[in-house]
Structure 1
Amino acid sequence: MSPRRKPDTTPDAPLVWERPEPPVRPSPGPLSREAIIGAAIALADREGLGAVSFRKVGAALDAGPMRLYGYVSTKEELLELMVDAVYGEMPLSEVKGEWRQALRALAHGMRRMSMKHPWFPELLGSRPHIGPNALAHLEATLAAFSETLGFENIDDVMLAVTTVKAYVMGAIQSEVTELRIERETGMDKERWQSANGAYILRMIATGRYPTLGKVVEKATHPSPDVRFDMGLDYVLDGIAARHLR
């Protein structure tokens, strides 16, 4: 077996975004970064992020894993390319208007992509993504603050954006986890509540959990869409209250 090629980590080594692809070879089958990324995303959509490997992606493209290293040097590069491709699926034209509209569009775009690609939230909490699509979304989001009084300090702008992203990542991670549990166990949230409802009622009847009792008796439990929007409004209202006095 050929040894895995080590990536060039010298300071002047070009990143994957600037590194040219090798010349196209017609045999045994043409490859490209775009094809590799597409196959990796399809694999992750079907089987989860843990299933993504050079061997499996290569098999999906009828190519040996060593051929892939000519286009992508490491799995970390492949994951970054996948993230940037998903950013490219979010219409940049939606992230426009004043800051609140832009942040709302970004939040809903990230949530929509997370429902389509359940592995996407797993990669959002790492270091900043610097692919061209991710940078374009960040630029559009930051630019929405450029004419807003109260946000003259760029640090305030960055904190507002990262705060909204933190809320979005937490909210969508919860939703994606619920969907994954449903797929793995065959038990949706309603069935889980039904199976555990009698126990919860017995615990409330002890009198030790009066506030929880109010939740069970009086909470309206809105849909995920409504909860997401309400939580986002809490965050945006808080940002506005701090900076737009």
Structure 2
Amino acid sequence: MLKNDSSPIWERPERQPRPVPVPLSREVVVQAAIALADAEGLSSVTLRKVAGVLGAGPMRLYGYIATKEELLALMVDAIYAEMLEGEDATGAWRARIARLAGHLRSAALRHPWFAALLGGRPQQGPNALAFTEAMLSAVAEAPGIDDIDTVFLATKVIGAYVVGAVCDEAADAAATQESGQTKAQWQDANWPYIQRMIATGRFPMLSKVAHQMTHPAPGTLFGRGLDRVLDGIAGTTSTSR
């Protein structure tokens, strides 16, 4: 069992791996937890169940990770590490932001549970911090942004859009899995009701969405939405207050 230690998991030394009966390390534990979450969902991830997957006693895991919350934090940071593989700071600011946003969306599609952990307080693992640093650095190169308050605010706006879009996709995928009904099937089932509501004349804009919108694929829609956000940021001029 870990001694009482208030230091963050990122800065806490881990015990040396023991070769028998099962070689363990934080990395081994985290990767097993990620595989379990990918296969069975986030609710399946407990220290006891991860220990069972590894063929180890639960008490052995406490030598590396003290709580489930720490395990989840390490899992999230491992996904941020995936996003940063091969990433560099080259290219124009918009291209860099689009690349980073695309990495986050792709990671959420590979790991459906990941989106559920993106809300709330900012992630503070070293890889999550590196991702945030990369995003801040790209935003800082946008025209008309010359103070850190505006850089931070613009980055928050981008993050709100990206996380919101990713969570919407994840929720739709989860609904499909739970109901066994695809989005298209769900829309077909509800279309008669929507037609009746549109026919009342109370929803002219929704009528245009239903009848005139091109309804692009999720990836295309994600990119177009991000372009609109970046168009706004490109037109930002800093003002003194």
TM-score (ref. length: structure 2): 0.91
Identity rate, percent: 53
Shift of residue 131, structure 1, vs aligned partner: 1.7
* Counterpart residue number, 1:61: 54
Is 1:34 aligned with 2:34? no
Q: Which string of whole-angstrom CA distances, capped at 9 and with x for unpartnered residues, describes residues 18-56 of structure 1?
A: 222212222221111011000110111112112111011
Are residues 1:173 and 2:184 paired?
A: no
Task: Give the Cα–Cα distance (whole angstroms) in 2 for the partners of residues 92 and 141 of structure 1.
Answer: 15
Are residues 1:23 and 2:16 paired? yes
Aligned residue type for 2:205: T
Q: How many angstroms does 1:145 deviate by? A: 4.6
The match for 1:47 among 19, 40, 51 is 40
Q: Which runs of 5+ in 1 are unaligned?
A: none
Verify: 1:196 aligned to 2:190, yes or no.
yes
| SS state at 1:72 partner | coil
For residue 112 of structure 1, report the CA deviation from its aligned partner: 0.4
Q: Which residue of 2 aligns with 1:129?
A: 123
Q: Aligned in 2, Cα 1:95/1:89: closer, same or farther, shift over 3 Å?
A: farther
CA distance in structure 2 between the partners assigned to 1:63 and 1:174 by the alignment: 37
- Say whether 1:138 aligns with 2:132: yes
1:76 aligned to which of 69, 72, 83: 69
Contact 1:39–1:57 at 8 Å: present in 2 too? yes
Structure 1 position 8 matched with structure 2 position 5: yes
Is the aligned partner of 1:163 residue 2:163?
Answer: no
The alignment partner of 1:93 has SS state of coil
| 1:183 paired residue number | 177
- The equivalent residue for 2:107 is 113
Equivalent of residue 103 in structure 1, options 97, 113, 119: 97
Aligned residues: 238
Tell me if structure 2 keeps the 8 A contact 1:203–1:209. yes
* Higher mean C-alpha displacement, 127-136 vs 223-232: 127-136
| One-letter identity of the residue aligned with 1:70 | G
1:238 matched to 2:235? The reply is no
In structure 2, the residue matched to 1:218 is 212
CA displacement at 1:95 relative to structure 2: 5.1
Task: Give the aligned CA root-mean-square deviation in angstroms.
Answer: 2.1
Higher relative contact order (CA 8 A, sep 6+): 2
Question: For the residues of structure 2 that align with 1:210 and 1:18, how far apart are their CA atoms?
Answer: 56
Is the Cα–Cα contact under 8 Å of residues 198 and 204 in structure 2 kept in the other structure? Answer: yes
The change in CA–CA distance for 1:144 and 1:197 in structure 2 (over 3 A counts) is: closer
Give the 3-state SS of the residue equivalent to 1:242 in structure 2.
Answer: coil
Instruction: Please point out which of 221, 225, 228 is paired with 1:227.
Output: 221
CA contact (8 A) 1:97 1:144 kept: no
**CA–CA distance in structure 1, aligned partners of residues 36 and 89 of structure 2:** 29
Q: Which consecutive residues of structure 2, in runs of 5 or more, have no partner in the other structure?
A: none
DSSP-derived class of the 2:124 partner: coil
Instruction: Indicate conservation of the 8 Å contact 1:102/1:144, yes or no.
Output: yes
